[in-house]
Amino acid sequence: MKRDQWTVTLNLALRLGLKHLQDMDVRPVAAFTSLETLRQRLGRALSDEGLPPDQVIDELVRDADGGILGSTGGRFFGWVIGGTLPAALAADWLVSTWDQNAAIHACGPAEAVIEEIAGEWLKDLFGLPATASFAFVSGTQMAHVTCLGAARHRLLMRAGWDVEEKGLFGAPAIRVITSSERHGSVERALRILGLGKRSVRTLPCSQAGQLDPSVLNQAFKGDAQPTIVILQAGDLNIGACDPFAELIPIAHEHGAWVHVDGAFGLWAAASPRYRHLLRGVELADSWTNDGHKWLNTPFDCGYAFVADQQAHRGAFSHRTSYTMYVDGARDQIDWNPEWSRRGRAVPTYAALRQLGRNGVADLVDRSCEYARALVRRIGALPGAAVVWEPTINQGLVRFLDQRAGATDADHDRRTDDVIARICATGEAFFGGTTWRGQRCMRVSVCNWQTDTADVDRVVAAAGRVLGEFSATENGPDAG
Ligand SMILES: *Cc1c(COP(=O)(O)O)cnc(C)c1O
């Protein structure tokens, strides 16, 4: 009986899962079922009696229909999402099947070793110090918490304050210096760690979205306070990377801890073609990155790396009397903020084995090339303008209201309208952003499946959408 339940239920999930993946080319990329319908379908009363497991799965898939974004396919360019590689997805299924608690080595020896190896491989690919410690967390948000927790430990220890023992009440203040292009997850991490938003000093960026060394130097003038400098390897609008080789020595001269948000941009270090953009990044004290973005592992999968192992361990390690420890083994709980957790490193291990070093570089190079092609070609359509041509895999396009006397507000409205209409065609998914005061369409490419046929198809769809306006608006001198 139990055996039959496994067979029927898992075969059904395999069949329905494959159908989802294989129908990607013929289904709309955007969701098309309304909130109301989803609630109505899924929100049935919880019954007193249970159901056969295969019926549960069958109804789950039917009820969710139209509410699943096509983000595993090659025409999804919203946010910075990434799809999933076959080996990574299959490995993720096995993680759920094995159902180990990856809190400590004794709870799942193989997964603990896989995590050790995957962490070493990642440091090697990114060119980070071989001695750095690491943690596999839910994403860059928690990687920030992990890295900045280590920073808090070290900086306060240096100031004679044991924060793990005494907490933050009465502790010396920590100042955080960062740039205007930081991601919102940085602030949330500071809130969680008790450092607060007010500890943040935001410095302006150059036209290229980079922090200027002289501006950073100036920020240190005056007081000598424990300081964390947070730099960016790939911001979410234009993929800008700070000039690490110049900035990090300045911060270190003033005793600061340097943390790098490399959620997706750190992957550029894995490509010989783009590595130069990250020159000097290895000099930092901590780094974050996501597997679930550019590496194409399933959610959720983020990485924290810390150069100062003692600080990392000092902030997170935990020993109890009821757990078993194995000599010489790496217990994940010593590096991670979670207790019980899934074997998150397994899909990363599988993804890196599927791609190899060259496959990772190729994924990075192709994504950048397609991002550039999409921005150039959509930007060249009538009624469109290139706002940022990608340096890596992120770019911006704006759509212009062609009527005489149209204002910036009209162009903003037009941009949001065109984004919505492109999504409504079902041919592609894009999101919007406000960048330097203007609404723009973000083009983010980080899916291993995107190819030239996808690019052609999406440019054609954008062309058709823009054509809907041109009939009424294009006078003889509009262009
Ligand atoms: C996505 C992203 C984050 C947040 O990462 P999560 O994995 O969603 O927690 C932080 N910074 C940057 C630059 C990002 O792109």
Let me know the angle formed at the C-alpha of 416 by 415 and 422, rounded to the nearest 5 degrees: 90
**Inside any domain, residue 411:** yes
Residue 216 sits in the same domain as residue 362: no
Say yes or no: CB of residue 182 within 6 Å of ligand 1: no
Q: Are 333 and 207 part of one and the same domain?
A: yes
The dihedrals phi and psi of 69, each to the nearest 5 degrees, come to -70, 150
277 CA → ligand 1 middle, Å: 19
Nearest CA to ligand 1 atom 14: 263
Kindly report the CA angle at 197 between 195 and 198, in degrees rounded to 5? Answer: 90
Answer yes or no: do 30 and 129 share one domain: no
Q: Pick the last residue of a domain from 321, 343, 365.
A: 343
What residues contact residue 425 under an 8 Å CB cut-off, 6+ apart? 28, 461, 464, 465
Please tell me whether residues 183 and 295 are part of one structural domain: yes
- Sheet containing 384-388: give its strands across: 384-388, 394-399, 438-444, 431-435
Can you give the CATH number for the domain in which 211 is found? 3.40.640.10
Q: What was the pLDDT predicted at 474?
A: 60
Residue 136 and residue 281 in one domain:
yes
* Per-residue pLDDT tens digits for 320-360: 777 777 788 999 999 999 999 999 999 999 999 999 999 99
| 236 C-alpha to ligand 1 centroid (Å) | 8
- The per-residue pLDDT for 254 is 96
Q: Directed axis angle between helix 109-126 and helix 345-379, to 10°?
A: 40
Q: How far is the CA of 185 from the centre of ligand 1 (A)?
A: 7
Q: Where are the alpha helices (DSSP H) in 128-277?
A: 140-158, 163-166, 184-192, 213-219, 244-253
CA 441 – CA 429 distance, rounded (Å): 10
How far from chain centre, in Å, is Cα 400? 30
Domain membership of residue 50 (yes or no) is yes
In a domain? residue 94: no
CB proximity list for 172: less than 8 A, separation 6 or greater: 156, 159, 161, 225, 226
Which of the residues in the chain have pLDDT under 50?
Answer: 478-479
Peptide bond into 401 cis (omega under 30): no
Output the CA 98–ligand 1 centroid distance in Å: 29
Q: Is 459 in the pocket of ligand 1 (CB under 6 A)?
A: no
Q: How far is the CA of 195 from the centre of ligand 1 (A)?
A: 20
Q: Which of 281, 313, 343 is the last residue of a domain?
A: 343
Instruction: Tell me, in angstroms, the distance from the centre of ligand 1 to residue 304's CA.
Output: 12
Atom 7 of ligand 1: nearest residue by CA position: 139
* 467 shares a domain with 331: no
Tell me, using a 6 A CB cutoff, whether residue 236 lines ligand 1: yes
Task: Give the CATH number, domain containing residue 409.
Answer: 3.90.1150.170
The verdict on the CB of residue 290 being under 6 Å from ligand 1 is yes
How many domains does the chain fold into? 3
Copy the structure tokens of residue 300: 């959720």
In this structure, is residue 324 part of a structural domain? yes
Ligand 1 contacts CB of residue 139 (under 6 A): yes
Q: Which residues of 290-324 are buried (b: 16+ CB within 10 A; e: fewer)?
A: bbbbbbbbbbbbbbbbbbbeebbebbbeeeeeeee
Same-domain pairing of 107 and 64: no
State which ligand 1 atom lies nearest to the alpha carbon of 300.
7
> Measured in angstroms, how far is the CA atom of residue 293 from the centroid of ligand 1?
9
Domain stop point among 291, 319, 343: 343
Task: For residue range 423-455, list pLDDT tens digits in order.
Answer: 999 999 999 999 999 999 999 999 999 999 999
Structural domain including 14 reads 2-68
Same structural domain for residues 123 and 44?
no
Residue 113 maps to a domain: yes
> Is 89 inside any structural domain?
no
Does residue 434 lie in a domain region? Answer: yes
337 and 376 in a single domain? The answer is no
The verdict on 333 and 388 lying in the same domain is no
The verdict on 276 and 151 lying in the same domain is yes
Which residues lie across from 399 on neighbouring strands?
A: 384
- From the CB of 264, is ligand 1 less than 6 Å away? yes
pLDDT at 478: 46
pTM: 0.96
Please report the pLDDT score of residue 479 as a whole number. Answer: 42
Which ligand 1 atom sits closest to the C-alpha of 292?
7
138 in any annotated domain: yes
| 442 Cβ closer than 6 Å to some ligand 1 atom | no
Q: Which of 179, 185, 235 to mutate to test the pocket of ligand 1 (most atoms within 8 A of CB)?
A: 185
Secondary element (H or E) of residue 178: strand 175-179
Whether residue 338 is found in the same domain as residue 465: no
